[in-house]
């Protein structure tokens, strides 16, 4: 898990590890380092910024396979990126490996203009099995990247894919009303109209060990912005999804739900009567927000980011949408115990980001998101001769 750099393509070194002017596109800083590059967010970012002419340095060692098993492997996406993006080079590097991370940043130096940190251990349940691994990946890995950026690429914009789980189970103390197919927030509450803002406390709550490690990474990212002046941002995301997601039972809600529906796999709903509510953001909508921040960065920023009221659903509602799209019934069972630290109701208020970046809008609602997941993955999921998993 901490192997040396393996690159499919590479740029030559400039003097002192800094790229020469001729190695930059358009005479400007043009290298994007993307961790978790074969995952949902990373792969979307690699394609997007690659199409803009940036050289993409992808970091991904398929830890998702270790976390969740072969069905969650991102190898299929890694192969796609290598073959479809001319300016993409892949490095099978573990973000916990300080020396190798530093060597990579030293190589490209001030040629790096953008760092997107999307690598993570993303599961509540898995974190409890290996707390040291979870913290090392999520917290120490983030610190390694921040310090590498500070030492070798201090002008780069650092974007951290954080999570709404930094708020722990505080959202569960909100006044919720049970409806037929979902929990809803009492209409008199200040969060009812647009969702939960960044003013919610991250303290004095049950986070799960995953949530705690992400809090550490989130706060450290802020601190490198405020203390050292780096251009950093934490996007505290709700549920992220899209056709590139290698969904598994412990992570990847919509993608895994649709896959189970298409393949006839049993699905389990954990707690809250299946009425728990999530906003869901397409990875391309998230990358649009990343690009806006990249073009007009700030230091030490924090934004809640999700599908907002425009794109949200309960578990029961999502099951119904999957069945409508696929034309077949889902085989599922209800487990009364909820996951530790899990939210009953979460909808992100993205107003703060929109106030800083007017014009940003979420394009995909839940139905459109599920439709694209289904249409772009159907053949791969059902093909009996497939050699890799999604």
**Distances in whole angstroms, Cα of residue 9 to Cα of each of 65, 86, 216:** 24, 9, 34
Give the CA distances from residue 95 to residues 36, 50, 98, 142, 236, in Å, rounded to whole numbers and listed in that order.
Answer: 9, 22, 7, 8, 20
Cα gap 96→143, rounded to integer Å? 9
Q: What span, in angstroms and rounded, lies between the C-alpha atoms of 307 and 309?
A: 7
In this prediction, residue 249 carries a pLDDT of: 57
pLDDT at position 372 is: 95
Q: Which residues pair with 161 in a beta bridge?
A: 235
Instruction: Write down all domains in the chain, each with its CATH number in brackets.
Output: 15-377 (3.40.50.720)
Residue at token pair 């393996």: 6
pLDDT value for 382: 86
Res 247: pLDDT: 56
Q: What is the pLDDT of residue 262?
A: 94
pLDDT for the residue 2: 38
pLDDT of residue 251: 59
Distance in angstroms (rounded) separating the CA atoms of residues 343 and 366: 18
Which letter, b or e, does each residue of 106-126 get, where b requires 16 or more Cβ atoms within 10 Å of its Cβ?
A: bbbbbbbbbbbbbbbbbbbbb
Which residues are CB-neighbours of 176 under 8 A, at least 6 positions away? 183, 184, 185, 186, 344, 345
Q: What is the per-residue pLDDT for 166?
A: 97
Contact call for residues 155 and 29 (beta carbons, < 8 A): yes
Q: CB-based contacts of 356: which residues, under 8 Å, 6+ apart?
A: 298, 301, 303
pLDDT at residue number 23: 35
Rounded to 10°, the helix 98-108/141-152 angle is 30
pLDDT score, position 246:
63
pLDDT tens for each residue of the chain, 390 residues long: 433 333 333 343 433 333 332 233 344 549 999 999 999 999 999 999 999 999 999 999 999 899 988 888 999 999 999 999 999 999 999 999 999 999 999 999 999 999 999 999 988 889 999 999 999 999 999 999 999 999 999 999 999 999 999 999 999 999 999 999 999 999 999 999 999 999 999 999 999 999 999 999 999 999 999 999 999 999 999 999 998 776 555 556 798 899 999 999 999 999 999 999 999 999 999 999 999 999 999 999 999 999 999 999 999 999 999 999 999 999 999 999 988 778 999 999 999 999 999 999 999 999 999 999 999 999 988 874 344 444
Classify residue 381 by burial, with Cβ atoms within 10 Å: 0-12, 13-18, 19+: middle
Q: Within a 10 A sphere around the Cβ of 350, how many other Cβ atoms?
A: 28
Looking at residue 253, its pLDDT comes to: 77
pLDDT of amino acid 340: 77
Question: Are 201 and 114 a contacting pair, CB within 8 Å?
Answer: no
Which pTM was predicted? 0.89
Going by C-beta distance under 8 Å and a sequence separation of 6 or more, which residues neighbour residue 121?
63, 67, 127, 133, 134, 137, 138, 210, 213
């Amino acid at each position: 898990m901490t192997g040396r750099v393996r690159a499919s393509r590479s740029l030559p070194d400039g003097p002192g590890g800094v790229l020469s002017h001729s190695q930059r596109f358009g005479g400007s800083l043009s290298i994007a380092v993307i961790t978790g590059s074969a995952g949902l967010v990373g792969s979307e970012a690699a394609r997007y910024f690659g199409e803009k002419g940036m050289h993409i340095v992808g970091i991904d060692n398929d830890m998702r396979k270790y976390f969740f098993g072969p069905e969650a492997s991102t190898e299929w996406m890694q192969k796609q990126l290598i073959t479809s993006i001319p300016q993409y080079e892949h490095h099978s590097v573990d973000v916990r490996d300080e020396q190798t991370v530093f060597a990579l940043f030293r190589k490209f130096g001030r040629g790096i203009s953008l760092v997107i940190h999307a690598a993570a251990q993303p599961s509540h349940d898995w974190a409890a099995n290996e707390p040291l691994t979870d913290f090392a990946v999520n917290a120490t890995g983030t610190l390694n990247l921040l310090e590498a950026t500070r030492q070798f690429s201090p002008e780069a914009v650092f974007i951290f894919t954080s999570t709404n789980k930094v708020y722990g189970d505080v959202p569960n103390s909100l006044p919720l009303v049970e409806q037929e197919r979902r929990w809803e927030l009492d209409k008199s509450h200040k969060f009812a109209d647009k969702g939960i803002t960044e003013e919610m406390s991250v303290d004095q709550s049950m986070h799960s060990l995953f949530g705690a490690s992400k809090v550490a990474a989130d706060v450290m990212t802020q601190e490198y912005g405020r203390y050292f002046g780096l251009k950093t941002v934490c996007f505290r995301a709700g549920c992220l999804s899209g056709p590139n997601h290698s969904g598994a039972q412990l992570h990847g809600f919509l993608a895994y739900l649709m896959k189970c529906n298409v393949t006839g796999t049993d699905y389990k709903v954990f707690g809250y009567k299946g009425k728990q509510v999530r906003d869901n953001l397409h990875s391309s909508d998230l990358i649009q927000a990343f690009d806006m921040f990249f073009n007009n960065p700030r230091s030490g920023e924090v934004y809640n980011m999700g599908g907002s009221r425009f794109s949200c659903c309960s578990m029961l509602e999502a099951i119904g949408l999957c069945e409508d799209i696929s034309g077949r019934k889902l085989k599922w069972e209800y487990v009364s115990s909820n996951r530790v630290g899990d939210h009953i109701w979460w909808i992100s208020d993205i107003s703060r980001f929109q106030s800083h970046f007017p014009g940003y809008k979420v394009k995909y609602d839940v139905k459109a998101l599920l439709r694209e997941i289904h249409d772009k993955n159907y053949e791969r999921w059902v093909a009996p001769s497939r050699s890799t998993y999604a």
